[in-house]
Amino acid sequence: MAFCTQLGKKLRFVGVALLLEDLGILRVLGGEKRFPLRVRAYAARGYECEGCGNLYALVLERCGHLISASGRQGFIVPVSSVSTDRYYPLQKYLTSYDLYFSNYDDRPSRLFDGLEHIRLTIHILGIRSNSPTIYATRYQKWFSEERPHLFGMLAYARSSLTLVPKSMAKFGSERDVEVAEHLAHQKTPLAKYFVRGGSGCVLYSRKVGYFLQVLNFTPKVLDGNGNERPPSEFKRITFTNSRLASLALACLNSNLFYWFVTVTSDCRHLNKREVEALPMHLEALASSPYSDQIIDTVVSLMDDLQERSVTRSMRFKHDTLRIQFIYPKKSKAIIDQLDRQLGSYLELSPKQVDYLVNYDAKFRMGAADDLAGEGE
């Protein structure tokens, strides 16, 4: 059965579903592009996933209608299928089956060469169940020479704990589960402490790379006349006082938060959703014996980021700008100290803290990030 959509006068092939009745297996060979549901000539009726707004979600659901009760299914789709609000109807559908899903970044290498922005998830669906078994892998990163061995290196872990609503956690080991359980005990999301017009301020960039950029100062951008132009990609959140703001700044700069964003988001942008959802009882942290140490460390981190920043001229069509670039990688030792202090507050074991400190370290600290870090 072919699924097609007519866009103007063009008929684009989207996917083919082959029902192998003897084996009870349904294979879907999909086109490489995603197609939004914007064609007024057609309407999808009776689909749970219509609200996802993309054709591939309907294809997955339709395949479930076609397959036998004992059949198995496999799909390669964008990682947004497990990590964004929009695809929550699809997540509910997928988790009605026994499910194994593996997750793949597109840096430093990707599953399919020649395609940009191709962060993917491979879903393997078993039988439908009232109490499904759900396992996931970590968000896989690899170098090109490792590609032949990629699938042999996959490790799955149970993915039953939800840290962010409408997101399926990309856990790949029991260590991920352990850290998540400690975080979940905090119960209070960071968003509880956001206030309008508060005296404490934190800025975060929506760009996601091997390091996030969360600051208490605005990086300088000067136009050709020497006038300041605040960078547009930074978002501001404010807190009642500077103490809470400093503790939030520490949390959002930690390896713990990098891990949190990696396992819960689409890893394309740092959205307000992930910032708001981080489980952290700031008031309890502020009254803990670790708070002063954490604040001192994050102050040192901000000073170090400023000191190690580099100002460069960038030519654009309309102007030449002088931009202050921040390199968190150069301050990794101070970031690691934040994790040790936060780990003490969260009662993480030394092995759990080391896991966070070294999470994706060979990619985050590699030379491949030197250029990419300018925007991060």
pLDDT digits (tens, 9 = 90+) for 45-104: 789 998 998 889 999 999 999 999 999 999 999 999 999 999 999 999 999 999 999 999
Percent of the chain with pLDDT over 90: 77
128 with 12, same domain: the answer is: yes
Q: Which of 172, 203, 224 is the last residue of a domain?
A: 172
146 with 212, same domain: the answer is: no
Residue 283 falls inside a structural domain: yes
Residue 177 falls inside a structural domain: no
49 with 118, same domain: the answer is: yes
Q: What is the pLDDT of residue 115?
A: 82
The domain of 140 spans 2-172
* 195/19: higher pLDDT: 195
| CA distance linking residue 292 with residue 296, whole number of Å | 6
Residue 181 falls inside a structural domain: no
151-to-148, 155, 360 alpha-carbon distances in Å: 8, 9, 18
Residue 112 falls inside a structural domain: yes
pTM here is: 0.88
The residue with tokens 């064609």 is 39
CB atoms within 10 A of CB 237: 23
155 with 285, same domain: the answer is: no
336-to-49, 170, 364 alpha-carbon distances in Å: 42, 22, 13
Which is nearest to 234 in space by CA: 197, 275, 195, 263?
275
**Which amino acid, one-letter code, is at 159?**
S
Count of structural domains within the chain: 2
Question: pLDDT tens-digit profile of 168-201?
Answer: 999 999 999 999 999 999 999 999 999 999 999 9
213 with 326, same domain: the answer is: yes
Residue 178 falls inside a structural domain: no
Q: Which helix (H) or strand (E) holds 356?
A: helix 350-357
Q: Is 345 helix (H, G, I), strand (E, B) or coil?
A: helix
113 with 236, same domain: the answer is: no
Residue 213 falls inside a structural domain: yes
90 with 143, same domain: the answer is: yes
Q: Which of 172, 196, 220 is the last residue of a domain?
A: 172
Tokens of residue 162, six digits: 């939800």
Q: Which of 172, 195, 228 is the last residue of a domain?
A: 172
Q: Please determine, for residue 148, whether its predicted confidence score (pLDDT) is greater than 70.
A: yes
265 with 354, same domain: the answer is: yes
Q: What is the pLDDT of residue 32?
A: 42
370 with 239, same domain: the answer is: yes
Which is nearest to 331 in space by CA: 353, 296, 310, 303?
303
The rounded mean pLDDT for the chain is 88
Question: pLDDT tens-digit profile of 217-243?
Answer: 999 999 888 889 888 889 999 999 999
Q: How far is CA 116 from the centre of its chain?
A: 17
Residue 180 falls inside a structural domain: no
Does residue 230 have a cis peptide bond before it, meaning omega lies within 30 degrees of 0? no
39 near 5, Cβ under 8 Å? yes
Residue 265 falls inside a structural domain: yes
27 with 68, same domain: the answer is: yes
110 with 211, same domain: the answer is: no
Which is nearest to 191 in space by CA: 248, 123, 254?
248
319 with 362, same domain: the answer is: yes
